[in-house]
């Protein structure tokens, strides 16, 4: 009997042309319109964004200097003037304060200092255009090679450039090349305490090893609106199924189901399952359309199916909850209010119209607790070569939402279906 109820719900929906038009034709039309109308704006942002640079130091530079001075004092007398010269020649301070931190550079470069344990996350999340890693003992090795002529320990730091940002990579490479050249020159002059034509520029006093930050797949307007419109219109599916369920009560079909010795909660469970099936079908059709029209790659297909199932479970819970409220109130007010008002609010918070994180980080966090917002974020992470670990929090959010909605639906559903 349970399977028959599910089959009945699916057939009832598929035989409603107006509902099919709303839930399939409208999102397809909006995806096409928004993708082409906003494509140039989305993909061709003419505004120059600040270059984000992260600096990771494995040691405190001041402590490194003191360690070197202790070593140096055992070999030669160290006076205040020498200490002052060494302080002015500290390589990391010069890079942060005089090169990246000078007023001209601050207009287009933002420097963020990270802890060592944040390095791997920073390399993988694509947030920074470049990450400069100052290894352990860098300052001691540099000062030793400069003053103690220790050529075995030529210091080097690592620079991880984001290859997906070619313009900023070239700018940063030029800045670091300038820093290497100028700093090597003035370090040699400071060491000799004079400026003469005989001074040679030691190009290997300071070296940088260029590596790569894990770059993310660029998100196009067609990709974004495929996901955002798909997860927005599945919200309408929840209210549609709930409204159809109430019509069954109003036309006494539900009464006949009860007379057939079917428990009311079994009927409610059939609403949840049928909504899950229809939601996955709706998302699948929209994704298939975008795959052929926009050539959107759906790698990690199993992860896409996992997110789709979880958000479908949430929609099933919402549909059941709206049905329970309709049956309790003996009207379709709950489902109508949801489709006319709450869908728009959820669409805004979930970023269905635009990326809300640029408007307010707080609203973006709230959006991750909406079914459409969480699913949208999960899909966007997957399109950027995300893994199961990158969507764990998304799956948890969707799981919690599904549990809450389904629990409330079963608690609120009248034992006898409400008033006739």
Q: Is 303 helix (H, G, I), strand (E, B) or coil?
A: helix
CATH of segment(s) 51-213? 3.40.1710
Query: Are 257 and 397 spatial neighbours (Cβ–Cβ below 8 Å)?
Result: no
Phi, psi for 228 (deg, rounded to 5): -70, -40
The pair of structure tokens assigned to 59 is 């040691």
Query: Are 188 and 200 spatial neighbours (Cβ–Cβ below 8 Å)?
Result: yes
Q: What is the DSSP secondary structure assignment for residue 197, as one 8-state letter?
A: T
Residue 197's pLDDT is 40
Please give the average pLDDT of every successive group of 10 residues along the chain, which has 420 residues.
75 75 83 74 56 84 83 79 76 75 71 86 81 84 72 70 70 70 58 45 42 58 89 91 84 76 84 92 92 87 94 95 90 87 89 77 88 93 85 94 95 68
Residue 94's pLDDT is 76
Return the beta strands (E) in 64-155 as ranges. Answer: 109-114, 130-134
Spatial distance between the Cα atoms of 245 and 33, rounded to a whole number of angstroms: 33
Residue 217's pLDDT is 58
Query: Are 99 and 175 spatial neighbours (Cβ–Cβ below 8 Å)?
Result: yes
Q: What is the DSSP secondary structure assignment for residue 194, as one 8-state letter?
A: S
Query: Are 371 and 314 spatial neighbours (Cβ–Cβ below 8 Å)?
Result: yes
> Minimal CA–CA distance to 314: which of 373, 267, 355?
373
Spatial distance between the Cα atoms of 306 and 378, rounded to a whole number of angstroms: 10
Residue 99's pLDDT is 67
Q: How many CB atoms lie within 10 A of CB 413?
A: 22
Query: Are 245 and 13 spatial neighbours (Cβ–Cβ below 8 Å)?
Result: no
Spatial distance between the Cα atoms of 261 and 257, rounded to a whole number of angstroms: 7
Reported pTM: 0.60
The 10 Å CB-count burial string (b at 16+, else e) for 175-192 is bbeebbeebbbebeeebe
Residue 304's pLDDT is 94
Neighbouring-strand partners of residue 112: 54
Kind and range of the H or E run holding 207: strand 207-213
DSSP per-residue codes, 332-386: SHHHHHIIIIIHHHHHHHTTSSS-GGGT-HHHHHHHTTSHHHHHHHHHHHHHTT-
Domain boundaries, the chain: 2-44+219-412, 51-213
Residue 230's pLDDT is 92
The pair of structure tokens assigned to 364 is 């973006």
Spatial distance between the Cα atoms of 51 and 174, rounded to a whole number of angstroms: 14
Residue 206's pLDDT is 41
Spatial distance between the Cα atoms of 137 and 153, rounded to a whole number of angstroms: 10
The pair of structure tokens assigned to 330 is 């003996």
Spatial distance between the Cα atoms of 15 and 20, rounded to a whole number of angstroms: 8
Sign of CA dihedral 26, 226, 316, 325: negative
């Amino acid at each position: 009997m349970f399977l028959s109820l599910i089959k009945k719900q699916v057939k009832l929906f598929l035989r409603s042309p107006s509902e099919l038009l709303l839930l399939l034709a409208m999102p397809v039309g909006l995806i096409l319109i928004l993708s082409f109308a906003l494509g140039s704006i989305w993909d061709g942002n003419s505004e120059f964004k600040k270059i984000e640079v992260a600096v990771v130091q494995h040691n405190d530079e001041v402590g490194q200097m003191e360690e070197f001075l202790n070593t140096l004092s055992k070999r030669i007398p160290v006076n205040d003037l020498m200490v002052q010269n060494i302080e002015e020649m500290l390589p990391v301070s010069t890079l942060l304060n005089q090169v990246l931190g000078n007023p001209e550079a601050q207009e287009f470069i933002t420097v963020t200092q990270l802890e060592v344990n944040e390095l791997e996350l920073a390399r993988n999340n694509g947030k920074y255009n470049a990450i400069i890693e100052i290894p352990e003992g860098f300052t001691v090795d540099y000062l030793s090679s400069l003053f103690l002529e220790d050529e075995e320990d030529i210091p080097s730091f690592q620079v991880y450039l984001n290859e997906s940002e070619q313009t900023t990579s070239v700018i940063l490479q030029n800045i670091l090349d300038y820093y290497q050249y100028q700093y090597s020159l003035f370090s040699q002059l400071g060491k000799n305490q004079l400026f003469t034509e005989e001074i040679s520029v030691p190009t290997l006093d300071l070296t940088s090893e260029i590596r790569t930050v894990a770059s993310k797949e660029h998100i196009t307007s067609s990709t974004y609106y495929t996901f955002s419109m798909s997860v927005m219109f599945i919200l309408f599916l929840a209210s549609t199924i709930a409204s159809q369920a109430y019509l069954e009560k109003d036309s006494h079909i539900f009464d006949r189901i009860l007379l057939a010795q079917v428990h009311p909660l079994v009927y409610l469970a059939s609403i949840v399952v049928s909504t899950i099936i229809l939601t996955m079908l709706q998302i699948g059709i929209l994704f298939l359309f975008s795959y052929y029209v926009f050539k959107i790659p759906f790698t990690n297909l199993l992860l896409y199916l996992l997110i789709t199932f979880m958000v479908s479970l949430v929609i099933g819970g919402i549909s059941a909850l709206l049905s329970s409220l309709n049956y309790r109130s003996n009207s379709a007010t709950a489902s109508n209010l949801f489709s006319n008002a709450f869908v728009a609010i959820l669409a805004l918070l979930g970023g269905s119209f635009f990326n809300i994180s640029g408007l307010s980080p707080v609203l973006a966090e709230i959006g991750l607790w909406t079914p459409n917002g969480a699913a949208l974020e999960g899909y966007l992470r997957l399109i950027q070569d995300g893994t199961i670990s990158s969507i764990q929090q998304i799956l948890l959010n969707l799981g919690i939402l599904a549990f809450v909605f389904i629990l409330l639906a079963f608690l609120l559903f009248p034992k006898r279906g409400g008033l006739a």
